[in-house]
Chain A
Amino acid sequence: AQSVSQHNHHVILSEAASLELGCNYSYGGTVNLFWYVQYPGQHLQLLLKYFSGDPLVKGIKGFEAEFIKSKFSFNLRKPSVQWSDTAEYFCAVTNTGGFKTIFGAGTRLFVKA
C-alpha cells in the first residue's frame, strides 16, 4: 500500500536558519508529489508540486523541493526561514491517474524570532 513518511514531527529553528524537511514515499509507479502548508488557524495551501520534468521545483515564499526518484524522496527546502514560516507542512503523493492522495503525518515547524 502507498504510504508517505515525514521523518521530523517537530522542528524548531531560529530565523535565517536553513530548513530541510524530509519526505519519503512508497509506491513503485509514477507519482505526483505535493507539499502543502497549514498556517495556524488557516486552511491547507499548496506550496509546490511536481508532476514531471525538472526534479527541482520551486514554490511560493522561497520554498523548493527536489524529487529524487531513486530514493523515493521529495524533500522540502528553504535556505533562510522567517518567523512567518511557522506552520505545519504536509507532504502528499498521488499515483499518476489515481484518485487518491496520501498525506504524510505532517511536520510542525516553529521559527524563533
Chain B
Amino acid sequence: GAVVSQHPSRVICKSGTSVKIECRSLDFQATTMFWYRQFPKKSLMLMATSNEGSKATYEQGVEKDKFLINHASLTLSTLTVTSAHPEDSSFYICSARAREDAVYNEQFFGPGTRLTVL
C-alpha cells in the first residue's frame, strides 16, 4: 500500500517553455502533498506544501508564480514550472500524506521527475 507515482519520470524542454509534473497517490487519499527539489549530491529541499482544495504554502525563496502547484483532488497534485530556464533543471520529488498520518507527518514519496532545461 501507500504508493505514489509521478509523471513524467524524465522531461527535457527548451528554455522559456512550461512543464507540468503530476503526482498521484494510487491507493490512499492524500490530504496533503509536498513538493521537493533535490540538487546533485544534496538533500531534499521542501519547495511547497499543498492541501487538497487550498492554495499551496511555499517555502521562503521559492517563487510561487514560477512553480505553480494545484491540488485539485485527494489523489492528484501538479507542479507546473513556468517559463523554465536552465537553472530550474533538477530532480523534483513529490510526497503524499494521508489525513491519519498528519500528526506524525509520515509521507510516502514518488519516484521523482528529472527535469532538464536546454
Encode contact with B along A26-56: 1 for CB under 8 Å, 0 otherwise. Answer: 0000001010100000111110010100000
Partner of A100, one of B49, B103, B104, B111: B49
Cα of A44 to Cα of B108 in the assembled complex, Å: 8
Cα of A90 to Cα of B43 in the assembled complex, Å: 8
User: A78 → chain B, closest Cβ, in Å?
Assistant: 21
Interface residues of B in 25-64 (CB under 8 A from A): 32, 34, 42-46, 49
Q: Specify the chain A residue showing the minimal Cβ separation from B103.
A: A97
Partner of B32, one of A44, A46, A99: A99
Interface residue tally on B, bucketed by range:
20 to 34
Cα of A31 to Cα of B107 in the assembled complex, Å: 15
A67 at the interface (CB under 8 A from B): no
Q: Is the CB of A43 within 8 A of B110?
A: yes
- Could you write out 14 A-B pairs with CB less than 8 Å apart? A36-B109, A42-B111, A43-B93, A44-B109, A45-B109, A49-B106, A90-B43, A94-B105, A96-B104, A99-B32, A100-B49, A101-B105, A101-B107, A104-B43
Given A43-B109, A94-B104, list of 10 further CB < 8 A pairs? A42-B111, A43-B111, A45-B109, A46-B108, A49-B104, A94-B105, A97-B103, A99-B49, A100-B46, A103-B44
Q: Residues on B close to A: CB < 8 A?
A: 32, 34, 42-46, 49, 93, 95, 102-112
